[in-house]
Amino acid sequence: MTHIRSAIVGWGHYLPKKVLSNDDLSKMVETSDEWISTRTGIKTRHIVEEELTSDLAYNAAKMALSRANMTAEEVDLIVVASVTPDNTTPSVATKLANRLGVKVGTIAYDILAACSGFVYALTQADNMIRLGQVKTAVVIGAESLSKIVDWTDRNTCVLFGDGAGAVVLKAVEGEGKNTDTGILATKLYADGSHYEDLKTDGGVSSTQNAGHVFMDGKEVFKYAIGSLSQAAETVIEMGGYKNSDIDWLIPHQANIRIISNVGEKLGLPEEKVIVAVDHHGNTSAASIPLAFSENMESGKIKKGDLVVFSAMGAGFTWGASLIRL
Ligand code: ACO
């Protein structure tokens, strides 16, 4: 019996030109390259100047469509995951729909699940493809976190960066086996009792402004290690695989110590865990597709590889996806 799967047939990423180093930051707040490097693994991050989140998303989506050899008219669904949209409403996705030139009627919406946004969006798009509601989708994570960071707060401003990543999904026929190409398993979670632990201190209905990022770093740190590894392990098991079968783990890129701990918990050798936090910082919903696209482009991740995306973010939200490329 045939079985519809969502295959990743294109990938793209985009980073704004301006690079901010740890030394640059040490001229803005009381910090040092030594502190930031050892505590977070971050060396540089990209920061938007004139561009908007939709510009970052557009460039990533264009690249992904080109890698997929697809035109905009073939797109049935656009989902953008972001906490930093151009406008409160309408969505970045509708702006993109117009700019990419997709057909009228193409579904377009944003989702907000913070750093888990991309895996949430990927899961929804996969579900719509498997239900036969759409045949193709462009799923994007795009953020201008520099716009909601308090640049006088050294606890947070050193952690974040801007950028966008995208994938193109296409319905393909599989056999329903775990050797199929495409998304093999997804799992999402949330625990709203942690609402206050990582948030902006403002918003439309509360303060009428976006606010700045605030977090309980230690609580986030602990929770991230547990949730990222648990979600990854769950989708690996759902797919009928063992941790040792995985070719690549792409965890949310927040902090090198979180990433290393997750790799260790899963028993994965260091070489199988993708790291991009050193040159991206934490780009929230963009972090996984950015790291994925960079490593597809470099040829490190290859067609046929078994890959796990695992993310955790504000809410708290978390989740993972298992994919055969
Ligand atoms: N430069 C120098 N000193 C700093 C800086 C800085 N940029 N930031 C904080 N400090 C100081 C603090 O003031 C504090 O000093 P004190 O002890 O005199 O009060 C000390 O350093 C803090 O030390 P710790 O809290 O022990 O630092 P820790 O090792 O916990 O690292 C960090 C802090 C990096 C924020 C860590 O908790 C972390 O990574 N948490 C995860 C947070 C995260 O990544 N959030 C992003 C969103 S969530 C997500 O994406 C999953």
pLDDT band at 145, cuts 50/70/90? very high
What stretch of H or E contains 97? helix 92-100
Three-state secondary-structure class, residue 235: helix
**CB of 67 within 8 A of CB of 269?**
no
Q: Whose CA is nearest to atom 2 of ligand 1?
A: 31
Question: Of ligand 1's atoms, which has the minimum distance to the CA of residue 258?
Answer: 39
Question: Of ligand 1's atoms, which has the minimum distance to the CA of residue 314?
Answer: 48
Output the ligand 1 site: residues, CB below 6 A: 31, 35-36, 39-40, 115, 154-155, 158-159, 198, 215, 217-218, 220-221, 224, 252, 254-255, 282, 312-313
How far, in Å, is the centroid of ligand 1 from the Cα of 233? 27
How far, in Å, is the centroid of ligand 1 from the Cα of 246? 31
**Rounded CA separation 246/156 (Å):** 33
Question: Of ligand 1's atoms, which has the minimum distance to the CA of residue 218?
Answer: 37
Predicted local distance difference test score (pLDDT) of residue 182: 98
Question: Of ligand 1's atoms, which has the minimum distance to the CA of residue 114?
Answer: 50
Q: Whose CA is nearest to atom 19 of ligand 1?
A: 155
Q: What tokens does 191 get?
A: 């625990």
Looking at residue 190, its amino acid is A
In this model, does residue 5 exceed pLDDT 90? yes
Q: Are strands 306-313 and 317-324 parallel, antiparallel or unpaired?
A: antiparallel
Annotated catalytic residues are: 115, 252, 282
pLDDT in tens, 45-87: 999 999 999 999 999 999 999 999 999 999 999 999 999 999 9
**CB of 318 within 8 A of CB of 116?**
yes
In this model, does residue 38 exceed pLDDT 90? yes
pLDDT in tens, 164-205: 999 999 999 999 999 999 999 999 999 999 999 999 999 999
How far, in Å, is the centroid of ligand 1 from the Cα of 231? 24
pLDDT in tens, 60-71: 999 999 999 999
**Rounded CA separation 273/262 (Å):** 9
How far, in Å, is the centroid of ligand 1 from the Cα of 295? 28
Average pLDDT over residues 5-31: 98
Q: Whose CA is nearest to atom 30 of ligand 1?
A: 218
Where do the domains of the chain lie, and which CATH numbers do they carry? Answer: 3-174 (3.40.47.10), 182-324 (3.40.47.10)
**Rounded CA separation 234/232 (Å):** 5
Q: What tokens does 233 get?
A: 């392990």
In this model, does residue 1 exceed pLDDT 80? no
pTM: 0.97
pLDDT band at 2, cuts 50/70/90? confident
